[in-house]
Every structure is written in C-alpha cells, then in structure tokens.
C-alpha cells in the first residue's frame, strides 16, 4: 500500500504532459491571432489615421493681387499717316526716335491683368523739327507662362498728346502688341515689348484729318510687387 501514493504521483505526471502539450499550440495560435490582429489594426490605422501625402499643386507664375512696376526704354518709329480724304497713305518723313514709359500692371487672376502706361517719345523730322508724342493708355493683358518666360499679348485704349513746335493736339489712341518676359528672380523680370499705336487726328478742316501709325520697341525692367 505504501507504493499507492507513488503510483498516483506517477500517473498524474504522465497525464499532465499530454495536457500541457495540447495547451501549448493553443497558446501559440492565440499569439499568432493576436499578432495578425495587431498588424491588421496597424495597417488600418496607417490607412485611416495617417494623412495622405500632400497633393502636388501646380505653380502659377501670377496670382490675383500681384503687381508689376515697369520702366521701359527704347525707340519709337513713325510708320506713316493715312489720309482719309484722299484714301492715300503718306510717308512719315521722320526718323526713329527715343521712347520711354512707366507702367503698372495689376493682376485680376493668374491669366489677366490691367496695365496703365505713361509714355513719351521724341521724333526728329526731315525738316529738323522735333515731334513729341505722349501715348497714355489703359491696356488689358493676357499672359501665357512658359517656364521662366511669359508671352503677354495686350490691347488697350487711351489718349495721345502730340506737340510739333507750337502746334499741340490731343487725340484718341488704340494700342496693340505683345511682350516677352523673362523672370530672372522672384522680384525682377526683364522684357522685350513691341507695340503698335494707332492715332486718329481730326481737324476742323477735314482735308487735314490723318490717322498716324507708330511702333514702339522697348526693353523693360520690372519689379514684382
């Protein structure tokens, strides 16, 4: 009978080994499930909780509220005069002159701007007389950015003050043309401008009426405001 307790102990140990072996895989399975659940939760958090990368935004050369103050120097070339009474085109009988202007352009959006010009030009005639021409205009500008360059066709209306000796006149003005801008930095641009000015002149004597045609070719330095 003394061996009965010993026999019971051996039997208990023998039965406990298979039971422990069965529990171990279950524990491992639970750990694997927990790990899988954790990974799934982390992936879900990464998808839902982490902000998506910032969407790339297209750079715009100009925006609403931008401004450009420009100083231009170059030449003004008289192309000739149209005589409506005789339906003939008369030569200018003058030489290319000196032109200058101060302009400000304010942008309504990234494509359109309005510009005001204070311009002037001195032209020498074949009779050694000096013609002063001052086109003052308000222009609409449409910009087409091409990398660091911008093509900017323009058209506008205004007034022209002309003076030849003591004869002074104020006439209407139509201006068309285009500019090619190179943006050298965020603050400065340089441009080549080609403008055509149409100046109708009306007098009490209708036989003296003329339509003048002038070309402005200037280089500009512009400060971006």
pTM of the model: 0.71
86 and 152 share one domain: yes
75 and 35 share one domain: no
10 and 74 share one domain: no
130 and 162 share one domain: yes
- Give 119's contacts (C-beta < 8 A, 6+ positions apart): 72, 99, 100, 101, 102, 134, 135, 136, 137, 216
76 and 146 share one domain: yes
Q: Is 166 a member of any domain?
A: yes
Q: What is the pLDDT along the chain (225 residues), one digit of tens a residue?
A: 445 555 555 555 555 555 444 444 444 444 444 445 555 544 444 455 555 454 455 668 899 999 999 999 999 999 999 999 888 999 988 889 999 999 999 999 999 999 999 999 999 888 888 899 999 999 999 999 999 999 999 999 999 999 988 888 899 999 999 999 999 999 999 999 999 999 999 888 888 899 999 999 999 999 999
**Residue 109 pLDDT:** 95
161 and 83 share one domain: yes
28 and 102 share one domain: no
- Boundary-marking domain end, from 57, 75, 94: 57
Q: Are 211 and 172 a contacting pair, CB within 8 Å?
A: no
- If one counts the domains in the chain, the total is 2
Q: Is 134 a member of any domain?
A: yes
49 and 75 share one domain: no
23 and 89 share one domain: no
10 and 101 share one domain: no
Q: Is 62 a member of any domain?
A: no
Q: Give the domain CATH number at 137.
A: 2.40.160.20
Q: Is 25 a member of any domain?
A: yes
Helices (H), the chain: 3-48
Distance CA 213, CA 223 (A): 30
**Residue 70 pLDDT:** 98
Question: 36: domain range?
Answer: 1-57
- Boundary-marking domain end, from 34, 57, 80: 57
49 and 77 share one domain: no
Nearest to 143 by CA among 63, 204, 46: 63
Distance CA 28, CA 125 (A): 104
Distance CA 197, CA 175 (A): 5
184 and 100 share one domain: yes
């Amino acid at each position: 009978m003394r061996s009965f307790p010993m026999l019971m102990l051996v039997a208990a140990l023998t039965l406990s080994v298979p039971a422990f072996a069965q529990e171990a895989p279950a524990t491992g399975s639970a750990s694997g499930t927990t790990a899988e659940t954790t990974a799934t939760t982390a992936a879900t958090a990464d998808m839902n909780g982490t902000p998506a990368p910032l969407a790339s935004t297209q750079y715009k050369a100009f925006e609403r509220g931008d401004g450009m103050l420009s100083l231009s120097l170059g030449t003004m070339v008289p192309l000739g005069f149209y005589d409506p009474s005789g339906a003939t085109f008369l030569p200018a009988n003058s030489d290319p002159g000196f032109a200058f202007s101060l302009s400000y352009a304010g942008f309504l959006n990234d494509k359109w701007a309005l510009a005001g010009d204070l311009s002037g030009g001195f032209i020498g005639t074949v009779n050694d007389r000096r013609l002063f021409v001052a086109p003052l205009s308000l222009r609409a500008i449409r910009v087409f950015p091409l990398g660091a360059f911008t093509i900017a066709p323009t058209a506008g209306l205004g007034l022209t003050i002309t003076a030849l000796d003591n004869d002074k006149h104020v006439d209407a003005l139509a201006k068309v043309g285009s500019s090619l801008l190179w943006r050298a930095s965020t603050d400065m641009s340089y441009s080549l401008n080609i403008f055509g000015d149409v100046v109708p002149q009306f007098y009490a004597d209708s036989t003296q009426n003329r339509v003048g045609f002038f070309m402005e070719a200037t280089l500009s330095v512009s400060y971006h405001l």
